[in-house]
Structure 1
Amino acid sequence: MFGRRLAELRNHKGMSQYELADRLQLSRGQIANYEQGTREPDFQTLIRLADFFEVSLDYMLNRTDTPNSLRLTGETLLLNESEAEYLQATLTLFRKYKHKQG
C-alpha cells in the first residue's frame, strides 16, 4: 500500500525513481524497494518523503485519501501547501463578501 502511494506521488510529479532518489539523497534501489513493498523507510525518511511531496504522513501511510486535496466537479486536485493556503484565503474573502451581501 505505501509503495503504491509513493509510486503514485512520484509519477504525479513526473519523476523517475532515479530523480526522486537524487533529490532525497537515497539510492534508486531504496526507492524501488519501497515501491515494491520489499522494504519500508525509517521514520526520518518517511517524514522527508511526506515533506517532499507536501502531503501528510497519514496520506503517505494510506490512513487517509486526502493529501491536501480539493474535489471540484468530480475531479480531485492534489494541492501543495501554498496552493491550499491561497485557496483557503480566497474562500475566506469570498465568504466575508457573501456575508456582507446578506
Structure 2
Amino acid sequence: MSLGKRLKREREKKNWSQKYVADKLGITNTVLSNYERDYRDPDTDTLKKISDLYDVSTDYLLGRTEESAPKESIIKEDNSNFFFFDKEGLTEEEQELLEQSYNLMRERARKRAEARKKKK
C-alpha cells in the first residue's frame, strides 16, 4: 500500500477532515490532498508530525511494516530489553536512577494510552 493510501486511511479511521489534519500539521488542504493522492511526498519533518498526529510509526506510514503500532510500543517490552548498553561505567546509584527514570517514562506512557482509549 502506498504512503498516500496509508495517510488517507489513518485520517479516515479517525473521522478527521483534510482541513482539520492540514491545520494541525500547518499545511494547506491542497498539500495534504497531494500527499494522499501520491502526487507529492511529505518532507521528513512533516512525516514525523503526521506520525505523531496519527499515533503510528513512520515505518508503518512508509510501508516498511504492516504493524501500525504506536511509537510507544517499546514501553510494553520487558525492561531488560531496554537496557541493552554496557552499564559497566555507571555506579550502582546511577544504574538505579536510570531504571527509575525509565519506569517513570513507562508509567506516563501507560497513562497517556489509557487517556486516549477513554476519548475514543
Alignment partner of 1:12 is 2:13: yes
Residue 64 (structure 2) aligns with = 63
Q: State the AA in 2 paired with 1:58.
A: D
Residue 101 (structure 2) aligns with = none
Q: Distance in 1 between matches of 2:64 and 2:113?
A: 23
What does residue range 16-95 of structure 1 map to in structure 2 within 5 Å?
16-68=17-69, 82-83=113-114
Q: Distance in 1 between matches of 2:58 and 2:44?
A: 10
| Offset from partner CA, 1:49-72 (integer Å, 9 cap, x none) | 001111111001011111118xxx
Q: State the AA in 2 paired with 1:44.
A: D
How many residues in Structure 1 have an aligned counterpart in Structure 2? 73
TM superposition shift of 1:47: 0.5
TM superposition shift of 1:33: 0.2
TM superposition shift of 1:23: 1.3
TM superposition shift of 1:2: 0.2
Aligned-residue RMSD, C-alpha:
1.8
Structure 2 runs not aligned, ≥5 long: 71-111
Residue 98 (structure 1) aligns with = none
Greater strand share, structure number: 1
Q: Which has the larger radius of gyration?
A: 2
**Aligned structure 1 segments of 4 or more residues deviating by more than 6 angstroms:** none
TM-score (norm: length of structure 1)? 0.67
TM superposition shift of 1:26: 0.9
Q: State the AA in 1 paired with 2:47.
A: L
Query: Per the alignment, in what secondary structure is the counterpart of residue 27 of structure 2?
Result: coil
Residue 94 (structure 2) aligns with = none
| Offset from partner CA, 1:21-59 (integer Å, 9 cap, x none) | 011111000110000111000000000000111111100
TM-score (norm: length of structure 2)? 0.57
